[in-house]
A and B are shown apart, each in its own frame.
Chain A
Amino acid sequence: MRNKKDGILSKIKVEQITNRKIMLAILIMAISILTSISLISSVSLSYCCEKTTDGAWCQNTQLEKCNPAFSKAPTSCDATSYCKMGCCLDMKGENAEGTCMENTPQKVCENSEGVWADNAKCEVPQCSLGCCLMSEQAAFVTQSRCKRLSSLYGLETNFRIDIADEVSCIVSARADVRGACVFEKEFEKTCKMTTQKECQDMGALLTSNSSSAVKFYEGFLCSAESLGTNCGPSEKTTCVEGKDEVYFLDTCGNLANIYDASKIKDKNYWREIIQKSDSCGAGSGNENSATCGSCDYFLGSTCKKYKAGEDKVKPNYGDNICRDLSCKWKGKTYSHGETWCEGEGTSKITPESVPENGAEGAVLGNPKADNLPGTRYFRLVCYDGEVTLEPCADFRQEICIQDELNGFKAAACRVNRWQDCLAQDDELDCGNTDKRDCKWIALKGSIAGIDAEEACIPKYAPGLDFYTIVGSTAAVAPQPFQGTQAQQSVQANAPAQMVQGQGSAESICGTANVQCIVEYEKGLTGGEKCKKNCECETDVWKNKMNNLCSFLGDCGVGMNYKGIAGSLGGVEVKIEKGVDEGE
């Protein structure tokens, strides 16, 4: 801030502490004080407790929280032997699950009868992953886990270390060859859809009891006329556990092909197994289709029993339909699997609310509607026809980001990197989106024509701890009134309640303190006439300053997340009379 003295009769001091140099000085001071406080407290208080009185293992905390029955040391847990982190392997005994748990203290692992390995990220050979193939299923797991899964489902272990990623592993899962297993029962030729192995096993069992022959017809359906069994086409359909589609059933209750109303009387469709890719509506979810049961979970449908209120149409045959899994939210329809961002209450806290350039006079978001105290970002998830809300981290320490591809939205909560915005004094550094979420705003001319320059502010104003009352004075005192010549001073300060804030609210909000010197000229016949920075006495200026304050975080006059204005005023405007230069 550069004050100009030009022999004016009277002046109102306007001091703008948002001037970058002063801002930086304050910030450095604030950070130093906060760092010192935290360092002092960490030096004096941080112990590594093997177990806390709350029952948590291996915590860096205050001495009084350490459980006296366990070890403790005035150091970080990383430096102790009793809280050394490693990998806990569940690989002991025949019922071992074969899992690896990261970041586990040795004692915790061994007390639970696990096997501990000295590698916190579980980068040990026993935890290396491979593809476990189990009939139609596949899982990308450890070898011990594969053994366990195979034994649980009564299968032989088929662990492939040559398949190195999960996608390839899942693709590798192949269904066993299925077909019609024809046999005689109670003097009648009947059939069961099964795998070749199951049919052979059945054959061995039946031939030991009778002389009937069992024959497997690969790829055939039991309803095939050529097999001459008592099974034939029917109008019944069913859903199958672990599969998405609606299937026809034959008269013996065996699965046939995917439900296709147009082929109910087509003998060819009831003869051989037809792949999904060759069935009706391939490549589509076929949700709410009365005629096609080729549902696809990833395309937004799955087989469900028809419900009159829930499904739009009734299937032409059978009781099952491809249920539409899309969601309705605030009048809009979202596809199954879509995720999107939304704010809470009256706030519209989306990244779109921040314009790309913070030119003079631009509304940088709406501080009266966006990023209000108490608000946070949310990600919404549409799955199985149901919308669930996933809050991002509180205090807007995470923001929700969203993108769209062919109309399909995908959103995620990610860290709000606002912390070093105020320390940036270069537009390029400020706008480096790889490193931070900041915005360069031009203040010149925007504050009563004073040569205030530019500032780097958070793109998404963070939430601050302005409410913890500790009854102490602030870590960083408000800037003292400056200017010996001023008659009056208009000073916009951080909200009064922040003086009592325990967190970093005061130091951050304090950087937006502004002083504006308004100059008056005495008339020859008495009275005063404003000559310079007269805008500083207007509400427009005050509002501008308050908005700047709000962009830094939970500062300034704000509304809460319900849209109710704060009762403490938030911004204090002090008008102080300066010194009459002529006197």
Chain B
Amino acid sequence: MQKRGEEREFGKRGQITLFVIIAIIIVAIVILIYMFYPKIATMIGITPKSPQVSIQDCMEDELGKIVEQLSLQGGSLNSSNYYAYEGNKLEYLCYTEEFYKQCVMQQPMLKQHIEGEISGAIREKSKECFGKMKSDYERAGYDVNLQQKNMTVELLPKRIIINFNYPLTLTKGASKRYDHIDVILKNNLYEMVIIATSILNWEARYGDAETTAYMNYYPELKVEKKKQTDGTTVYILTERDTKNKFQFASRSMAWPAGL
């Protein structure tokens, strides 16, 4: 009997210990949730990501693809005056149809032209991304006020910045306002475009450009010049580390076969 009583006593103690452990675990979980709620909520989709992160994540891949295509096509997505080279339509940035003549500049404001091309190409995607962000916040119980004003694209050293001047106010109890949202893509397109403009000036004046001069000044860059049979010259600028390219065509001081 005594043994049975002892066994009962041990069972009760065990139960109590178990309950205490469970209680401690529950308290710990509650504390953890309290401490890391925003992150956990975002992870499981209760709270949307911050507007900046949401738009950056949504647009980054598409922007990268557009910039890559532009870079491989001399800065235009749909050029009609191009040279077909290894599956890419390289825009003639300086061009003459004649022989023995210097080329005529076709894109004198190349940087601005590329900014315009990027701006046009990402418009639809940006609408989609802002729409998605808005609906995510609304689903999470926020009152969303988004004014879609204007968007600017800027090529800068080592990066491309898309500035959405879209004032956004999120209200859920308290209000939070964002004046603008920026999407940043790390890229050296700016540097390559500036070098391309220098090459183009040489093409327009002398019908040729010396590649090694650029490689001496910019060791991180490989500059290739490929003269084609019809007198077109293809220039390929490659960043040695990332292998990012900017390539374009020029036709200047072309020579015909024979006389």
Q: Which residues of A contact B (CB under 8 A)?
A: 31, 34, 52, 54-61, 77, 83, 85, 88, 90, 95, 97, 99-105, 108-109, 112-114, 121-122, 152-153, 297-298, 302, 337, 339, 381, 383-384, 386, 388, 390-395, 397-398, 413, 415, 419, 462-465, 503-505, 507-508, 553
Contact = CB atoms under 8 A, between A and B. Distances in A.
B227 A391 contact: yes
A55 B89 CA distance: 14
Nearest to B226: A391
Interface string B101-125: 0111111110111000000000000
Contacts of A394: 227-229, 231, 255, 257
A384 B104 contact: no
Given A297-B219, A503-B257, A121 B205 contact: yes
Given A54-B80, A58-B104, A99 B194 contact: yes
Nearest to B200: A101
Contacts of B111: 90, 97
Nearest to A152: B157
Interface string B231-243: 1000000001000
A520 B156 CA distance: 85
A114 B255 CA distance: 32
A462 B79 CA distance: 34
Contacts of B240: 384
Given A104-B104, A419-B259, 19 more contacts: A61-B97, A88-B109, A101-B197, A108-B105, A109-B109, A112-B108, A114-B109, A337-B216, A339-B212, A393-B254, A394-B227, A394-B231, A397-B257, A398-B227, A398-B255, A413-B227, A463-B257, A465-B257, A553-B258
B251 to A, nearest CB: 9
B203 to A, nearest CB: 9
Q: Give 4 closest A-B pairs by Cβ, nearest first.
A: A504-B258, A55-B80, A88-B108, A397-B255
Nearest to B255: A397
Nearest to A390: B225
A59 B106 CA distance: 11
Given A121-B205, A462-B258, A101 B219 contact: no
A104 B94 CA distance: 9
B136 interface: no
A393 B255 contact: yes
Interface of B: 79-81, 92, 94-98, 102-109, 111-113, 154, 156-157, 194, 197, 200-201, 204-205, 211-212, 215-216, 219, 222, 224-229, 231, 240, 254-259
A394 B226 CA distance: 11
Nearest to B99: A397
Contacts of B104: 56-59, 77, 83, 85, 103-105
Contacts of A384: 215, 219, 222, 240
Given A104-B105, A383-B215, A56 B228 contact: no
Nearest to A388: B224
A383 B212 contact: yes
A122 B201 CA distance: 10
Nearest to A339: B212
A327 B134 CA distance: 56
Contacts, number: 155
A373 B136 CA distance: 67
Contacts of B97: 52, 56, 59-61
19 contacts: A52-B97, A54-B80, A55-B80, A55-B81, A60-B98, A61-B97, A99-B197, A103-B103, A103-B105, A104-B105, A109-B109, A122-B201, A302-B219, A384-B219, A390-B224, A391-B227, A393-B254, A464-B258, A553-B258
Contacts of B201: 100-102, 122
Contacts of A381: 211-212
B181 to A, nearest CB: 20
Nearest to B78: A55
Contacts of A54: 80-81
Given A56-B97, A381-B212, A104 B81 contact: no
A415 B99 CA distance: 14
Contacts of B254: 393
Contacts of A390: 211, 224-227
Contacts of A397: 255-257
A257 B112 CA distance: 43
Contacts of B92: 56
A108 to B, nearest CB: 6
Contacts of A297: 219
B222 A386 contact: yes
A463 B231 CA distance: 14
A409 to B, nearest CB: 12
Contact of A102 (B80, B205, B222): B205
A398 B200 CA distance: 20
Contacts of A102: 105, 201, 204-205
Contacts of B80: 54-55
